[in-house]
Every structure is written in structure tokens, then in C-alpha cells.
Amino acid sequence: MKKILSVLLVLTLVLSLTPLALAEEDGKIVIWTWDPKFNIAAMNIAADMYHVDHPDVEIEVQEVLSDDIEQNVATAATAGDLSTLPDIMLCQDNSFQKMVTNYPEVYTDLTDLYDFEGFGPAKQAYSIIDGRHYGIPFDAGTVVGAYRTDYLEQAGYTIDDLKDITWDRLIEIGKDVKEKTGYPMFSGQAGSVDAIMIMLQSCGASMFNEDGSVNLKDNEPLKEVVADYMAMVEAGVFVEVNSWDEYIGTLSNGSVVGTFNGCWILATILSLDDQAGKWDITNMPKLANAEGATNYSNNGGSSWAITQGTDVDLAVDFMQMYRNVEFYNAILPTTSAIATFSPAKEGEAYSAPSEFFNGTPIFATILEFGEQVPSNITGAYYYDARNAVSTAVTNAMNGGDIDAELATAEDTVNFAMGF
Amino acid sequence: MTNNANARPRRQLTLQKKQNLTGWIFLLPATILIVWMSFYPMVRAFIVSLQRGKPTALQFSEPLWRNYERMLQDKVFVQSLINTFTYLIIQVPIMLVLALIFASLLNMKDLKFKGIFRTCIFLPCATALVSYSIIFRTMFSYDGMVNAVLVSMHILKEPVNWLNDPIGAKAVIIIALIWRWTGYNMVFYLSSMQSIDYSIYEAARIDGAGAWTQLTKITMPLLKPIILVTAIMSTNGTLQLYDESVNLTNGGPANMSITMSHYIYNTTFVTSPNFGYAAAMSFVILLFVAVLSGIQMKVGDKR
């Protein structure tokens, strides 16, 4: 029996040491992406348009959830067998650096293969690692401030009163609106730190320094952001809920005046038929003291990556679709996916006014906002830092000292990076 | 047979060998599968737990036990350890006692509608872990059912944000676990109670033993082996708790309800992947399970 055991062990060890298997070039493009109404729909339109000139190329769009894509990449890379991966896959911008840094053998360096002229620099920064491009930008996560104009009116304000303001002014208005209407201004998921990340990027600040080291302990903009956030919650201007569904619930049942989030949140708002004409958008408030503060930021969004060893040339040729204004015009009405490719704003679909939002041409407005978003540094340890900041903020809200909490957070991230 | 064996001892030996061989051949497929799918990964995981570096370029760390050594300095890991043991110490005893009480109630001879009660108590076990977690999250949300009921009954003055409170979040997870698993353990007790002869209870009653004495002097001693099994299974399950932590509270607020398995998952897939450290933490859980089960066997099984 011992012999059998040892033979088995040796066999399996040998099997696990087989060299890296690459995917085959088969002249077929397989794409992994996750949302049927959004990025899958966009890719199907791209495939249809590509088929006009290339009728022989087979393109298959498969629905794979974002988390599953990341796990599949991890599994394939550690098993040394990339043949299970698709030619093109979508990756969350916040995960991009983590994935490429940890699994460099999976992703194709696109720097010399693709023309990145015309894409917003803040958007590109997510998928640039060590100065090399790995991602073709897809949708923007440009932040908009969306407000219920009917509630604002009741309190004697208009949407223009919320344009180009600071957070201090927002808290003033928010208190007044709450007093007059009873509704808090914003809602957000406790512990998710989405709001804090948005506010931080709006002044071009990051949780990391240029050299990749952690920047939490003495990060003045971050402290200002946390102070503003806590002031909002304390004043009842920002109400914290526990889950994503509850957050969406506050919007759909009209228990908040508005929200500030990536422009993809508009898809949710647009689905609330009973609230048509009651909404309008403008930019978000900015930090009062931080250097380089703007009224623009980014949250969410994703970019396309091309797998190494597959039909790279074919995939790159297909992805030229994302430099095509026609394509962006075609996907906008069905998907509301807002481009990060500046020339797209010339298209008709972009300048059309939206009935839902009081006739504001929301898409052109968002593209315009997008050009002004400052870039930030995400890095491979983005989620480590995000979790640490979340813990720090939660503790600070429960009476902890924010300086001490951020110092602890920095230690936590440094600890993770020490491996 | 003895005659036969004495006459031809050589053949007897080969027959035994043959039988042994047949036995081994029958065992072989399962053995190969277990070794390949279970033991080999464990060995590999142990090797990985001594390594560090990028997922595809792991190298042995210096010193070898570096991942294990660093664990104690990891505040989040220590917190997850405290959380998991809090769940274990509070939840397992409550659940097992409740299961025992339910089982002896359902074992009463003159109880009507036994089938319905039994189904009701066992039914939670048929629900998927994720779906029941989400239902509990909804029930305990700020404007959820629990708050509405407690406020309308004037037990609470104003709604409590259960899931955003360090103690509240833990309490909700413990309540959820008890709801989900009590029926499961009860079934074990019930089935072995039914094998206890009813005449023993009758005799005890004639001797003047009350319900409590019957439970502690007859039922529990006779159920000892099965209580031991459920205790080990529950301990094991609680140490590996994952779904509830992820779906009910997402580890929050501020990691106050995160479990060890949830943290291991985060280390592997959510944050920048660190397979070596995650594997090391998995082995620590294995160690805890082994030690705790060992203690329970020593304490519980006096044979």
C-alpha cells in the first residue's frame, strides 16, 4: 500500500509540473463579460458591426460574472493552463492592477498594438501598469450628482444651487432641505466606502503614493474627506444603510433627495418610471481645502483585457470597434454605456436631451464631466487599502480617533504588502 | 472447516490471501480517489503554506514558518479568530440543548401532530445557506421586520441598526445559525431516542422519576455517543463558517463579525492574492478542529 501511495504522489506531482499551456489560435473570438443588458449587449452590437466586413469570424459572447472571471484567471494561471480562458475579458477598473500585477502571464501588453489616443487619461490610468497599457477602456464611471428637483423645490432650491458647490455648502443645504421636507440628501452603504473613495479621487488624491507605498496615515485630503463624510452622517444629511438593496430602495421609494455615484446609477434611476421628470443631474460637491479639488470623480467602470497566446491579432482588430464613433452611438440607446472615448460626444445619440431628466442632455453632460476627472493610483493592493479604510472609518464613527485609526489602517495594508 | 484446514494448510493461506486481495481491490478505487482528491491537495496546501510570493511564482519563505509566525501580528486574523470562537462558545451549546429539548418533546408518546412539528423544525435545514442569510439580513435591516415588530410591541423605543452594531451583528449571526441548524441536530437525537426502549421510561416513572430525572439519568447517558458526534460536527462546522459571514453581515461592521474562512477567502480572491498565507490560515483551522475534536472525544467517550 505504501508503494501505491508513493507512486500516486509522484505521479500527481509530475502531472502538476507540466509546462504552461497556452490557448490555441483558432480564429474564433471568445469574450467573457457579465451584464446582459449592459456589456454583453454592447459586445453583441460590436460583433454585429464587425461581421459586416468580416463575415467569417466567429464571435462568442459568454456570460461570466466578474468575480468568476477573476477566480478563473487565478485558477488558470496557477494551474499553468491558459487554454480555458477566453480571448477577451472584461475586468473591473479597481481590480485591473491587482490582476495584471499578480497574473502577468495572462494579459497581453497592448501598448504597441492599440491606439489609446482619445480615451480619457483618468480612465486609462486604471489599466496602465509600469507605464504599459493592458486594458481597452469600456464604460465610464464618471460621478454625477442626481437630485429630485421636486424635493428641492419644496425647500426652495433649484438644481443650479447644487452646481459647483463645496461639501460645506452641501451640508448647509442638506440640513435646510431636511428641516423643510424631512428627507436626507443622500444614502449609502455603511462600510462600503464608495462615497469616501469618490470624494478622495475628486481632488486627485489616492490611498497610495506614486512609488506604490501606502499613503493613509498622513493623507490630509483623506482626513478632510472622512471629516466631511462624518459631518454629513452626523447632521443626518447622509443616511447609512446596510446593504446595496437598501441603498437602491432609498432611491426607488423616494426616501432621499438624491445620490452621487458613478453614472451607471442613472440606469437604475431611469427604470423608476413613476419618477420621470422629477430628476436632474449636475456635478458633485468638492472638497473645500484640499489642493486640486474638483467637482468631478469616478466610481466603477471596467476595461477589456486580451489574453496572451490566443488570437491576439484578431482580437485587437475586433477591438478597433471601440475607436469607432458609430459604435458608441449604436450602443448608447440600448445599454446607456457611456464612452470614455472623447470623439464619441459628437454623435447624435449623445446630444439628445433626456425627457426623464428635465430635458438635460445627460450623456453629453457626463462625457464633459468625464474629461475633467482627476486620475488616481489604484495599484495591486487597492482592495486591501479599501478594506482597511472602511474599518478605520467605521471605528471613527463609533468614537475612535481618526488619526489613530488611519495609522492602524496603514499598518494593516503594509502588513499585507509585506508578504 | 477445521478438518479441511488441518488437511491442507497451504491452500487455506492462499485463500486468506486471496480474500485479502479481493478486499484491497474493492478498496482501491475509493482509496485512489481519496488520496488524489483529498490527501494530495492537503499535502500541496501544506507546502504552499510554507511559501510566499506571487501566485504563479511561489517560493519557499525564509524562515519556512514565516506565514504562521506572521499570523499572530495580523489584527484582522486575530479578530476573525475571536469572532469565530465567540460564535462557537455561544452558539453550539445553545443549539445542542435546544435540539435535545425539541427531540425529547417530539419523542413524547401522546403528542399529536408529531409529523407536522418534526417537519417544521427540520425544514430550515432544507433552505440554502445563501438564501436564508439574505432573508435574515432583510429581516434585521433597519426598516426590517424585526425592528417593526419590536417597536410596535413597545419593546424597543426606536429601531436598532442590528447589522451595523458589533454585538448586534454577531447576535444576528448566532440567531440565524441556531435557526438553521437546531432541527438538523434534533433529527440525530430523535432517531437515537426512538431506539431507547419505552419500557425503561415506564419503569423509571413507577420508581418516581420526573421528566427532568428521566432526561438527565436515562436519555442523556444513552445518547452520549450521538451527542458527541453532533458536538464534533457543530464545532467543525462553526470553525469553517463562511456563508453567513459573507452574505449576512459581509464581515462588518469593521471586521467585527468576519469569520476565519471569510478572511481566508478575502486573502485569496478579494484583495491582492496571497495563497501562502491563506493556506497557512487554513491549516490553523484544521489544527483547531483536530484539537477540539480530540478534547471532546477524550472528555465524552470514557469507554
Residues B97 and B224 in one domain: yes
Residues B169 and B235 in one domain: yes
Which residue matches cell numbers 433649484? A158
Cell, residue B52: 510566499
Residues B137 and B20 in one domain: no
| % helix, strand, coil for chain A, step of 5 | 50, 15, 35
Tell me how crowded residue A207 is: count the other CB atoms within 10 A of its CB.
27
Q: Which of A418, A1, A414, A419 is nearest to A208 (CA)?
A: A414
Residues B156 and B78 in one domain: yes
Question: A323: which DSSP letter?
Answer: G
Of B56, B161, B274, the CB nearest to A105: B56
For helices B166-193 and B129-139, give the axis angle rounded to 10 degrees: 130
- Tell the burial category of A5 from Cβ atoms under 10 Å away from its Cβ (0-12, 13-18, 19+): middle
Q: Is B65 a member of any domain?
A: no
Phi, psi of B52 (to 5 degrees): -145, 170
Q: How far is B179 from chain A (nearest CA, A)?
A: 22
Residues for chain A: how many in total?
419
Contact B137 A381 (CB under 8 A): no
Q: Is B60 a member of any domain?
A: no
Residues B110 and B26 in one domain: no
Residue B18: predicted pLDDT = 85
Residues of A within 8 A of B76 (CB-CB) are 412
In this structure, the strands spanning A128-129 and A143-148 are unpaired
Residues of B within 8 A of A67 (CB-CB) are 269
Name the closest residue on chain B to residue A102, using Cα atoms: B54
Phi, psi of A258 (to 5 degrees): -170, -165
Q: Which domains does chain A have, with CATH numbers?
A: 24-141+299-346 (3.40.190.10), 143-297+375-417 (3.40.190.10)
More confident residue, A184 or A20: A184
Residue A91 and residue A135 in contact, taking contact as beta carbons nearer than 8 Å: yes
Q: Is B180 a member of any domain?
A: yes
Q: What stretches of A103-165 show up as alpha helix (H) in DSSP? A: 121-125, 149-154
Residues B249 and B134 in one domain: yes
pLDDT band at B293 (very low <50, low <70, confident <90, very high): confident
Residues of A within 8 A of B270 (CB-CB) are 383, 387
Residue A354 and residue A362 in contact, taking contact as beta carbons nearer than 8 Å: yes
pLDDT band at A19 (very low <50, low <70, confident <90, very high): very low
Question: Measured between alpha carbons, how far is B58 from B136 in angstroms, rounded to an integer?
Answer: 40
Q: Is B8 a member of any domain?
A: yes
Contact B137 A101 (CB under 8 A): no
Residues B279 and B158 in one domain: yes
More confident residue, B176 or B6: B176
Residue A33 and residue A64 in contact, taking contact as beta carbons nearer than 8 Å: yes
Q: Is B119 a member of any domain?
A: yes
Structural domain total, chain B: 2
Residue A9 pLDDT exceeds 80: no
Q: Is B137 a member of any domain?
A: yes
Residue B219 pLDDT exceeds 90: no
Residues A71-97: tens digit of each pLDDT: 999 889 888 888 889 999 999 988 898
Cell, residue A268: 437604475
Q: Is B64 a member of any domain?
A: no
Of B31, B73, B271, the CB nearest to A383: B271
Residues A36-75: tens digit of each pLDDT: 878 888 899 999 999 988 888 899 999 998 889 999 998 8
Residue A5: predicted pLDDT = 52
B2 touches chain A (CB under 8 A): no
Residue A15 pLDDT exceeds 70: no
Name the closest residue on chain B to residue A105, using Cα atoms: B56
- H/E element holding A4? helix A2-16
Residues A268-325: tens digit of each pLDDT: 888 888 888 889 999 999 998 888 899 999 888 899 999 987 788 899 999 998 988 8
Whole-prediction pTM: 0.81
Residues B63-108: tens digit of each pLDDT: 888 888 888 888 889 999 999 999 999 999 999 999 998 888 888 7
pLDDT band at A196 (very low <50, low <70, confident <90, very high): very high
Name the closest residue on chain A to residue B42, using Cα atoms: A9
Residues B216 and B273 in one domain: yes
Residues B229-282: tens digit of each pLDDT: 898 889 888 988 898 888 888 887 888 889 999 999 988 888 888 888 899 999
Contact A391 B255 (CB under 8 A): yes
Question: Measured between alpha carbons, how far is A278 from A154 in angstroms, rounded to an integer?
Answer: 12
- Cis? peptide before B63, omega within 30° of 0: yes
Mutate to test the interface with B, among A243, A255, A405, A411 (most CBs of B within 10 A): A243
Which domain CATH number covers B124? 1.10.3720.10
Mutate to test the interface with B, among A71, A105, A107, A242 (most CBs of B within 10 A): A242
Q: Collect all residues with Cβ–Cβ distance below 8 Å to A74 and sequence separation of at least 6.
A: A102, A103, B55, B268, B269, B273
Question: Measured between alpha carbons, how far is B124 from B122 in angstroms, rounded to an integer?
Answer: 6
Which residue matches cell numbers 468576519? B258
Backbone CA torsion sign across B249, B250, B251, B252: negative
Question: Measured between alpha carbons, how far is A9 from A341 in angstroms, rounded to an integer?
Answer: 54
- Tell the burial category of B226 from Cβ atoms under 10 Å away from its Cβ (0-12, 13-18, 19+): middle
Number of alpha carbons in the 13 Å side-chain half-sphere of residue A291: 3
Contact A246 B52 (CB under 8 A): no
Question: Measured between alpha carbons, how far is B19 from B13 in angstroms, rounded to an integer?
Answer: 10
Contact B254 A16 (CB under 8 A): no
Residues B223 and B269 in one domain: yes
Q: Which of B148, B166, B167 is nearest to B158 (CA)?
A: B148
Phi, psi of A214 (to 5 degrees): -70, 140
Which residue matches cell numbers 511564482? B57
User: Can you give the residue range of the structural domain that contains B152?
Assistant: 73-300
Residue B54 and residue A105 in contact, taking contact as beta carbons nearer than 8 Å: no
- Percent of chain A exceeding pLDDT 90 equals 36
pLDDT band at B289 (very low <50, low <70, confident <90, very high): confident
Cell, residue B37: 482528491
Q: Which of residues 31-90 of B touch A (CB under 8 A)?
A: 31-32, 35-36, 40, 43-44, 52-56, 67, 70, 73-76
Residues B21 and B130 in one domain: no
Residues of B within 8 A of A241 (CB-CB) are 141-142
Residue B5: predicted pLDDT = 47
Which value does ipTM take for this structure? 0.76
Question: Measured between alpha carbons, how far is A323 from B166 in angstroms, rounded to an integer?
Answer: 50
Which of B48, B65, B84 terminates a domain? The answer is B48
> CA separation (Å) from A235 to A218, A240, A246, B157?
26, 12, 20, 21
Q: Is B285 a member of any domain?
A: yes
Residues B182 and B254 in one domain: yes
Residues B23 and B143 in one domain: no
Residue A1: predicted pLDDT = 46
